[in-house]
């Protein structure tokens, strides 16, 4: 359980998240993920990173139950800072990051894949932000990188999900494959990227980030301010208190 890094193919590092049962990450998990991504990106032997997950789904966001068990705002602050660092680590990884998404990709998962360079998804993958149902706000910055503006807003306000096939139609998912072919498809794309010159691919990543029209760090940090406002007012606790009551 936790975050691990492996390198089955030359030039490729696989960073795998494994937090049963649904890959909802505790505070330390987000920091561990950020550290693994940064370490892989600075390894001169790595030219592409595949971000993957074990279990039935890619990511279910933050561990709400960890937050419910805590007194005060320490865990909330930790989760916000941890997500901020993990999302930034994907975006700022010195080499391209390919996200291999199977099953659900929710909440913080959107922050990860929205900042990735490419996404390969399984047929059963769904993407969404249930933040309003969890007493939180955020990652609209990243959802807006996956779907057009008005669809992003509708998905955000309703907490609905979009399928991998829908995102493929919008151009944000590279390929949609059967679940059993997911890692092979992600590694195929990563291998094509990793075949490039390592120094040049790093320059390419820096150049593309440099012309990005949205500063994802600042944009997401702005969103997080509203999450703190919801928590300080007591509104978030009110909404979050219902989490898990139907499970």
Task: Kindly state the average pLDDT of the residues 169-198.
Answer: 98
| Three-point CA angle 58, 132, 91, nearest 5° | 45
Q: What is the mean pLDDT of the chain?
A: 94
State the pTM of this model: 0.94
Task: Kindly state the average pLDDT of the residues 69-86.
Answer: 87
The closest of 132, 50, 135 to 90, measured between CA atoms, is 50
Look up the CATH number of the domain holding residue 31. 3.90.226.10
Domain limits for position 176: 2-180+198-240
Within a domain: 132: yes
Within a domain: 31: yes
Within a domain: 186: no
Within a domain: 246: no
pLDDT score of 73: 75
pLDDT score of 247: 45
Angle at which helix 74-92 crosses helix 216-232, to 10 degrees, equals: 170
Within a domain: 104: yes
Within a domain: 185: no
On the question of pLDDT at 246 being above 60, the answer is no
pLDDT score of 243: 65
On the question of pLDDT at 211 being above 50, the answer is yes
Encoded tokens for 25:
């990450």
Q: With H, G, I as helix, E, B as strand and everything else as coil, classify residue 18.
A: strand
Separation CA 152–CA 131 (nearest Å)? 13
Full strand arrangement of the beta sheet holding 12-18:
2-6, 12-18, 48-53, 97-101, 118-122, 175-177
6-62 tens-digit pLDDT: 987 889 999 999 999 999 999 999 999 999 999 999 999 999 999 999 999 999 999
Instruction: With cut-offs at 50, 70 and 90, classify the pLDDT of residue 134.
Output: confident
Within a domain: 247: no
On the question of pLDDT at 186 being above 50, the answer is yes
Query: Bigger pLDDT: 79 or 122?
Result: 122
Q: Which helix (H) or strand (E) holds 165?
A: helix 164-170
Q: How many domains does the chain have?
A: 1
Within a domain: 23: yes
């Amino acid at each position: 359980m936790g975050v691990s890094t492996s390198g089955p193919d030359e030039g490729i590092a696989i960073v795998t998240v494994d937090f049963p049962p649904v890959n909802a990450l505790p505070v330390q998990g987000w920091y561990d993920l950020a550290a693994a991504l940064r370490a892989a990106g600075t390894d001169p032997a790595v030219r592409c990173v595949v971000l993957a997950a074990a279990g039935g789904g890619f990511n279910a966001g933050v561990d709400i139950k960890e937050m419910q068990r805590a007194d005060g705002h320490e865990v909330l602050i930790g989760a916000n800072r941890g997500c901020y660092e993990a999302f930034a680590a994907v975006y700022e990884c010195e080499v391209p990051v390919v996200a291999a998404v199977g099953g659900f990709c929710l909440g913080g998962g959107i922050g990860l894949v929205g900042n990735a360079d490419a996404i390969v998804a399984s047929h059963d993958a769904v993407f969404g932000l249930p933040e309003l149902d969890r007493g939180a706000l955020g990652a609209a910055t990243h959802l807006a990188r996956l779907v057009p503006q008005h669809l992003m807003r509708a998905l955000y306000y309703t907490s609905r999900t979009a399928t991998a096939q829908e995102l493929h139609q919008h151009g944000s998912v590279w390929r949609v494959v059967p679940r059993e072919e997911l890692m092979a498809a992600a590694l195929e794309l990563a291998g094509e990227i990793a075949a490039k010159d390592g120094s040049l691919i790093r320059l390419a990543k820096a150049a593309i980030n440099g012309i990005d029209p949205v500063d994802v760090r600042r944009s997401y940090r702005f969103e997080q301010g509203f999450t703190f406002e919801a928590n300080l007012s007591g509104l978030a606790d009110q909404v979050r208190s219902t989490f898990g009551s139907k499970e």
